[in-house]
Structure 1
Amino acid sequence: MGRKQVWDQADVLARAMRLFRHRGYLGASVRDIEEATGLHPGSLYRVFHSKEGLFCAALDAYNDQVVQGRVRAHLLEQPDPVAGIRSFFTSTFETGLDPD
């Protein structure tokens, strides 16, 4: 029987996303991931299977927690769906220009 997981997956994914956002996928080494998330290599590979698996899981979590809510908010604030989508992408583009 394996050991019980004692870390919070949402926290690990948030920490990984911050690391990838600041260093980029290629710039983030497995050692960097271990330090940022506090995971040991065995846990990292058992749960996410690879660096790419962690990256995809972090993107999925970001989409679920941030992007979908922002899309909904823009759609509700605008008079029609096309204007809502346009507003979302304009806002996203402007946010992407912000270095922070």
Structure 2
Amino acid sequence: MDKHVHYDSRQDLIVFSLAGETSEWVEAAVTGQALARAYGCGEGEAARLKAFADHEQQIRNRAEQLLDEGQEPLVKEEDLAPRNQSGAKKEVLRGIGEDDAGAV
């Protein structure tokens, strides 16, 4: 399976594309801020990329599920919360481009 991962520091996104046997591309994005909060990996680019690599399968599966449901494949913090931490606070990230009031 071909894979491409790109970190966009300006938008604080990690974007990845995966090509499967059918040559269909799956594209998804996860915010570095969500990775930092979900996995406690700090604010550094290297730490976020490592967290992404460590949890790529979970992120990919969630992105594919969102695509199957016809939704935007933006993997949020709530999708990344470690499964072994019951009662972990789950905050839904504001959509990309929204301000604190939720306006675009």
TM range (shorter): under 0.3
* TM-score, normalised via structure 2 length: 0.27
- Structure showing greater Rg: 1
Q: If each structure's helix is expressed as a fraction of its own residues, which one has the higher value?
A: 1
